[in-house]
Amino acid sequence: MEIKIEKKDDLTIISLVGRLDTISAEELKSEIVPLIKNGDKKIIFDFVNLDYISSAGLRILLVATKMMKEKEGLLILCNINDFINEIFEISGFNQILSITNTFEEALVNIKS
Amino acid sequence: MSNSPNILEECSIKVPNRLDYISIIQNYTKDVATKYNLDPKSIQQVEVAVEEAATNVVKHAFHINKKNEYNIICQKEPDRVVIRIRDKGIPFDPTQLSEYNPDTPLTERTAAGLGSFLIRKMVDLYEYNNLGKDGKETVLIKYLSQEGII
């Protein structure tokens, strides 16, 4: 999986390309945890090019969401495909994650 | 391997107990499930179930630094595709892991049992068999759609 991180003022945009599985979840964890620890409080995950997720990926999203809540930050996911959305619904992650349909909606929500 | 008269076709691979081989197993089972007429949505669900089950084997069946291997067996029966993940490692029943609850609030939510929870949701039948001296196996079963049954 490819992880692209872009910073714009106080906003961090993380774009994931490929598959968030057992191997790549560890790579993502090593990127996202330091960002949150260092004080990033507005993070958008753009899943437009993410094809697949397993429990390993869900674990990292849970860790990141909990850390952001503790630091009173905001993490929004957008552009989720049908398959990943189904995994979120089955696992109840759609109840604990902030999700928007488009990147533009995520941008509006995180700035408001 | 089983000699059940229900088995129309069968194939298998042997892989090292390493996490970096799991995507190879997924590609293999996807290709075989396609050949066995499983529908595209079911194949995607099997892909998740296979990752979760194989990860359990690699992480729990063997000592982490000890080289070993295990088998993936794919079988086609008249109305279903069966995937058996068979190893001779430490006894471990993944179906007995703690129960994951998808309705737990964020503050109390943990991911314990999430892998097995997903497997149960992704396949039609999820079993664990103790094979005695032959080890143990996790069995993932997905039924064929009407169009897939020949």
Residue A70 lies in a domain: yes
Question: Confidence band (pLDDT; 50, 70, 90) for B3?
Answer: low
Q: What is the pLDDT of residues A11-43, one digit of tens each?
A: 999 999 999 999 999 999 999 999 999 999 999
**Domain housing A20:** 2-105
Convert the pLDDT of each residue in A36-70 to its tens digit. 999 999 999 999 999 999 999 999 999 999 999 99
Considering only alpha carbons, which residue of chain A is nearest residue B40?
Answer: A83
CATH number of the CATH domain containing A24: 3.30.750.24
Contact in structure between B67 and B131 (CB atoms under 8 Å): no
In angstroms, the separation between the Cα of residue A54 and the nearest Cα of chain B is 6
pLDDT at B97 over 90: no
Rounded Cα distance, A45 and B88, in Å: 40
Q: Which of residues 32-91 of B touch A (CB under 8 A)?
A: 44, 47-48, 51-52, 55
In a domain, A20, yes or no: yes
pTM score over 0.90 = yes
Q: What is the mean pLDDT of chain B?
A: 92
Contacts of A59 in chain B (CB under 8 A): 111, 114
Which tens digit of pLDDT belongs to each residue from B45-58?
Answer: 999 999 999 999 99
Distances (CA, A) of A51 to A18, A78, B30, B50, B142: 6, 13, 15, 16, 22
Q: Tell whether B20 is within 8 A of chain A (Cβ).
A: yes
Is residue A96 in some structural domain? yes
A85 lies in some domain: yes
ipTM rounded to 2 decimals:
0.93
